[in-house]
Chains A and B, each alone.
Chain A
Amino acid sequence: MAVITYRDALNQALREEMRRDPDIFLMGEEVGAYQGAYKVSRGLLEEFGEWRVRDMPIAELGFTGLGVGAAMVGLRPIVEYMTWSFALLAIDGIVNSAAKMRYMSGSQFKMPITFRGPSGAANQLAATHSQALDSWYAHVPGLKVVAPATARDAKGLLKSAIRDDDPVVFLEGELLYGSKDDVPEDEDFTLPLGVSEIKRPGRDVTVVVHSRPLHSALAAADTLEREDGISVEVIDPRTLRPMDIDTVLDSVRKTNRCVIVEEGWPVCGIGAQIVDDIQREAFDYLDAPIARVTGADAPHPYAANLEQLHFPQADLIVKAIRQVCYRD
């Protein structure tokens, strides 16, 4: 184990996988000579050369399709977007081509491709550069969607995403790149897609949260333990599609209360689907309506104070948990 950053954990995952399998190549804007807009691909061009670490023109639709074509003939491309907000220009390639190729061809062609890059807000990048569009991709059959919140999860899940034979949308937290935790150095370390993790065990209420807000939820759990004596169980699904909902259901059957937190907008969000799964399979176990804490239902503002108000902050999560525990 070593304490490293989320950024370096991703770099390790890329390097280890590219060493293991010569069919894997990385492409995107600034991934090579510039060493990555967020330095995730640092040193890879020097090790693997330009055919395997390819700087692309600013043409998201074009290089996304390039990845799809290469995957159809058996390569395993990794497509990096400078931010997922730019991938809106490539949504035809992701949603129409990658997600449906297996189905439309009757399984004649598989689609082993990973689309990755930073998602969600950073610091005052305003409306076009801050979006968490997790639910857009999770909506689409044929895609898998992964959103790690820690360096360990980032490494283990990216390696599994690259090895997967289906297209994976891999959403990195733009504000998580500098965060650190213990990461296994073992090259065989992977984490399976579609498995939730209990990040903090508890008895009284279940919080389901992914990506950066996990850290806000853990802070909120500390506060509630200390100030209210409420024991909060925090679950990170990590994979949003297909989601391991059983871990969530088991927890809700135990705690009988649930709060769902996400950075994205509320309407048709990831939490909306989780609410449906819970009410359908664990309705009788609920002692209170499920609460959701989301990004504000507004575009991301530039002003620093307004932007902070947009986020699902720990104080909002505390309020929501108190409400479902009838402590407010």
Chain B
Amino acid sequence: MATKITQSDELLGLDRGALIEMLRWMVLGRRFEERAGEMYQVGEIGGFCHLYIGQEAVAVGALTPLRGDDYVITAYRDHVHGLVRGMDPGAIMAELFGRVDGSSKGKGGSMHLFDAATNFMGGHAIVGGHLPIAVGIGYAIRYRDTDQVCVCFLGDSVANIGAFNEALNMAALFRLPVIFIIENNQYGMGTAVHRAAAIENLADRACAYSGMQGWTIDGMEVLEVRRTVEMAVERARTHKLPSLIEAKTYRFVGHSMSDPNYGHYRTKEEVHQFKAHDDPIKGYIETLRAHGMIKESELSDIEAEVKKIVDDSVEFAKRSPVPQADDLYDDIYSGEYPDAKRRDPWR
């Protein structure tokens, strides 16, 4: 695998501030996840914890061109999508810690981040389950006749589940402003894409739905992701047409914290090749340097600023109390739920 410098000849007309802001988000995503991994290792975070390291260009390239009133929904590898969407890093870390100041009061955990304030619609942990939900958000947008869009991230394995066809068919049938972005990180857990999908480029499946356009792109190139998503957003906002984008990317770490970075399903050498030669952050820094858009001091400034944000998020999470026993039966219904306690006198 050759070292990539950059494939982006132009910078999408973005000013220096916007370009550096994208780098800042990518670095924040990387460092936040590295720290989440450390916190998992020391037992502060439990359950399943899926890190996004290696895939940062997809979330950052896709989310930075959106408006605040657009909707975003994703699967269970969701920390960085929430961060870039504007969630409070402390609320995310506290949620991972299972504390009351977490975004879901500690009831959702790593796989179920939600933030109504930023229209971040989750955080969904059943593969494929959130695609129809994204279509429903798109339906509501058309119902209300606004020009919002809904961006729905999904993993490569989702392309093979029934909900994928049901959702994409309805999005095209009803002309809904939904942009499906497949983050093809090459493996559905430990199953290589070619062992699960009878197609080379997953976005080619867009041709099965009238009015839907498909793109397969390099998901390690943040500007390529952004350029493509901007085109898809325009189709959605203006023409009410859905899109299917396949961003080919790679996760540098295990499927979750429960498995090693490499093993029977992929080699150490393969992981090393990607980390050494196809790191989306290193590649983007090279691009910015080549265009004279960044000073070396700014890199260290970003690292320092991001470190403080991540440090603060951990401090916030540690200070936040664990939920009270009474919280167990809250948030189930809109009203009181006395039956649960009546049948459960000892807890």
Asked if A and B are interacting partners, one says yes
Q: Which residue numbers of A lie inside 8 Å of B, CB to CB?
A: 25, 51, 54, 56-57, 59, 61-75, 77, 92-93, 96-97, 102-110, 141-142, 144, 164-166, 242-243, 245, 277, 280
The answer to whether A66 touches B135, judged by C-beta atoms less than 8 angstroms apart, is yes
The verdict on A61 contacting B140 (CB below 8 Å), with A97-B124, A106-B114 known, is no
Q: Which residues of A contact B73 (CB under 8 A)?
A: 69
Q: Which residues of B contact A106 (CB under 8 A)?
A: 102-108, 114, 331
Q: Is B334 an interface residue (CB 8 A)?
A: yes
The answer to whether B139 touches A242, judged by C-beta atoms less than 8 angstroms apart, is no
The answer to whether A69 touches B334, judged by C-beta atoms less than 8 angstroms apart, is no
The answer to whether B137 touches A73, judged by C-beta atoms less than 8 angstroms apart, is yes
The answer to whether A59 touches B133, judged by C-beta atoms less than 8 angstroms apart, is no
Q: Which residues of A contact B9 (CB under 8 A)?
A: none
Q: Which of B162-170, B265-273, B293-301 contacts A (4 or more CB under 8 A)?
A: B162-170
The A-contacting residues of B in range 95-119, CB under 8 angstroms, are 102-108, 112, 114-116
The answer to whether A65 touches B135, judged by C-beta atoms less than 8 angstroms apart, is yes
Q: Is B275 an interface residue (CB 8 A)?
A: no
Closest residue on chain A to residue B142 by CB atoms: A51
CA A185 – CA B108 in complex, angstroms?
Answer: 44
Q: Is B132 an interface residue (CB 8 A)?
A: yes
The answer to whether B333 touches A61, judged by C-beta atoms less than 8 angstroms apart, is no
Per-residue CB contact flags for chain B residues 146-180 toward chain A (1 = under 8 Å, else 0) read 00000000000000001100110110011000000
| Chain B: minimal CB distance from A313 (Å) | 31
The answer to whether B331 touches A102, judged by C-beta atoms less than 8 angstroms apart, is yes
The answer to whether A62 touches B114, judged by C-beta atoms less than 8 angstroms apart, is no
Q: Is B122 an interface residue (CB 8 A)?
A: yes
Residue in A67, A72, A93, A245 whose Cβ sees the most chain B Cβ within 10 Å: A72
The answer to whether A103 touches B332, judged by C-beta atoms less than 8 angstroms apart, is yes
| Chain B: minimal CB distance from A273 (Å) | 9
Q: Which residues of A contact B115 (CB under 8 A)?
A: 108
The answer to whether B136 touches A69, judged by C-beta atoms less than 8 angstroms apart, is yes
The verdict on A51 contacting B114 (CB below 8 Å), with A72-B133, A97-B124 known, is no
The answer to whether A66 touches B104, judged by C-beta atoms less than 8 angstroms apart, is no
The answer to whether A65 touches B122, judged by C-beta atoms less than 8 angstroms apart, is no
| Chain A: minimal CB distance from B129 (Å) | 5
Q: Which residues of A contact B343 (CB under 8 A)?
A: 277, 280
Known: A73-B137, A104-B123. 16 other contacts (CB 8 A): A54-B174, A57-B166, A57-B169, A62-B169, A63-B166, A65-B133, A65-B163, A66-B136, A68-B132, A69-B73, A69-B140, A74-B140, A77-B136, A105-B122, A142-B333, A280-B343
